């Protein structure tokens, strides 16, 4: 990315302790932010939790929202299997503008019982064929990074952003590829090796600093964290909930409440549960993400609010000396609070509520949405500490006690 752009500064927007595949992160956000800063990123921002566990559209809304609200970002680079920005933008325009004939095709496919990604894929192919578009878009619509890339482009349109998109072609290993392929391997393959403790192979597949930090976190009893570590707390929560409560959660619709209620009582672990709940229409990843929304009580009405207004603050996890210069510029230019000391989050909330002061500071954050979003980040971190192998580390509030990483 840096070779492609030759930027003055480099920013990363990183998921926190729970990630978009619907699982806890294998390493906590502080360890991962430290690696990123050591590997050449000048500022690491945390993507608020409420966007981390959404589908590609919600995830991109949050990620692009963070970059847009810095008021300094000029370019964004994302991975792509096709690396064909022209075709991606053509498809993105259709998805964003939603022409009537396309919507009609989409609804027709949804009525067939297809999952939303598949219904959208077939609708797009049919729509483009009817307009004599020659490029074969099916490959793009079946590739994980291209699908997320489309949503980044949609989000840029949503924010009417001047940020310029660029792609880096994904090579050698596919997103979901389970086989280890050496130096360039999928994250899926590397995570599987970490779970199996095959560390000599892991060492081949990650930068040396990542490997050192990983070993250190394992030694401390803070890693690896895997999906099944949440088994007891998630199954207990589900077994206590009524169907009426489940139906209020974002993504629980069309009978999913019945499936979660039924199978939570007869499944002995989370893998068994999600495999029982998933259907032709509801993909495995969607079921896992929705499971996290249920656990954290993320209601549909609240998620709509978060997505319509975007992130309400810029949370810094790490920065370099060079990044400190950029943060100074951002503080002058951004209309959203930049948080380097989370324990002061209430003071920021009070300032947002002070109309006279907030107007002087040009803050555009909506106080209650700001408070909800950041308190979800804290909750996610507090729950994550319960998953540590070293239980002595489970009784502190990391977001309020861990200091921002400065290199």
Contact 44, 63 (CB under 8 A): no
Structure tokens at 292: 């996290």
Contact 267, 235 (CB under 8 A): yes
pTM listed for this prediction: 0.95
CA 358 to CA 348: how far, in whole Å? 10
Contact 158, 164 (CB under 8 A): no
CA 81 to CA 321: how far, in whole Å? 34
Number of H helices, E strands in the chain: 23, 9
Domain ranges of the chain: 86-141, 177-225
Residue 101, CB-side half-sphere exposure with 13 Å CA sphere = 8
CA 124 to CA 99: how far, in whole Å? 11
173: buried, middle or exposed (CB in 10 Å: 19+, 13-18, 0-12)? buried
Structure tokens at 77: 């680079």
DSSP 103-131: HHHHHHHHHTT--HHHHHHHHHHHHHHHT
Residues sharing a CB contact under 8 Å with residue 193, sequence separation 6 or more, in sequence order: 180, 199, 201, 202, 205
pLDDT in tens, the chain (407 residues): 999 999 999 999 999 999 999 999 999 999 999 999 999 999 999 999 999 999 999 999 999 999 999 999 999 999 999 999 999 999 999 999 999 999 999 999 999 988 888 899 999 999 998 877 767 788 888 899 999 999 999 999 999 999 999 999 999 888 889 999 999 999 999 999 999 999 999 999 999 999 999 999 999 999 999 999 999 999 999 999 999 999 999 999 999 999 999 999 999 999 999 999 999 889 999 999 999 999 999 999 999 999 999 999 999 999 999 999 999 999 999 999 999 999 999 999 999 998 666 555 678 999 999 999 999 999 999 999 999 999 999 877 899 888 899 99
């Amino acid at each position: 990315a840096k070779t492609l752009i030759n930027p003055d500064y480099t920013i990363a927007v990183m998921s926190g302790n729970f990630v978009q595949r619907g699982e806890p992160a294998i390493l906590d956000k502080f360890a991962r932010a430290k690696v990123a800063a050591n590997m050449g990123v000048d500022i690491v921002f945390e993507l608020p939790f409420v966007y981390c566990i959404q589908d590609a559209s919600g995830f991109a809304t949050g990620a692009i929202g963070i970059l847009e609200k810095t008021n300094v970002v000029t370019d964004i680079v994302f991975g792509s299997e096709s690396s064909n920005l022209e075709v991606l933008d053509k498809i993105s325009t259709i998805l964003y503008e939603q022409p009537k004939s396309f919507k009609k095709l989409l609804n027709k496919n949804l009525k067939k019982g297809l999952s939303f990604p598949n219904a959208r894929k077939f609708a797009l192919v049919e729509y483009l064929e009817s307009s004599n578009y020659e490029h074969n878009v099916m490959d793009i619509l079946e590739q994980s990074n291209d699908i997320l890339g489309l949503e980044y482009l949609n989000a840029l349109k949503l924010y009417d952003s001047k940020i310029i998109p660029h792609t880096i072609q994904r090579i050698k290993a596919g997103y979901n590829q389970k086989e280890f392929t050496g130096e360039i391997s999928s994250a899926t393959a590397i995570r599987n090796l970490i779970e199996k403790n095959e560390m000599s192979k892991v060492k081949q597949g990650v930068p040396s600093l990542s490997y050192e930090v990983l070993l250190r976190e394992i030694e401390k009893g803070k890693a690896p964290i895997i999906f099944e570590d949440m088994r007891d707390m998630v199954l207990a929560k589900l077994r206590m909930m009524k169907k009426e409560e489940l139906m209020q959660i974002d993504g629980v619709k069309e009978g999913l409440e019945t499936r979660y209620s039924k199978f939570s009582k007869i499944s002995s672990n989370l893998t068994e549960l999600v495999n029982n709940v998933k259907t032709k229409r509801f993909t495995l990843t969607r079921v896992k993400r929705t499971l996290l929304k249920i656990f954290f009580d993320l209601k549909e009405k609240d998620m709509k609010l978060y997505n319509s207004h975007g992130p309400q603050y810029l949370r810094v996890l790490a920065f370099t000396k060079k990044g400190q210069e950029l943060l100074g510029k951002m503080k002058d230019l951004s209309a959203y609070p930049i948080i380097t000391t989370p324990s002061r989050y209430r003071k920021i909330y009070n300032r947002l509520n002070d109309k006279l002061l907030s107007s002087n500071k040009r803050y555009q954050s909506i106080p209650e949405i700001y408070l909800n979003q950041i308190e979800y980040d804290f909750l996610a971190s507090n729950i994550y500490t319960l998953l540590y192998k070293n239980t002595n580390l489970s009784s502190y509030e990391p977001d309020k006690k861990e200091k921002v990483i400065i290199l």
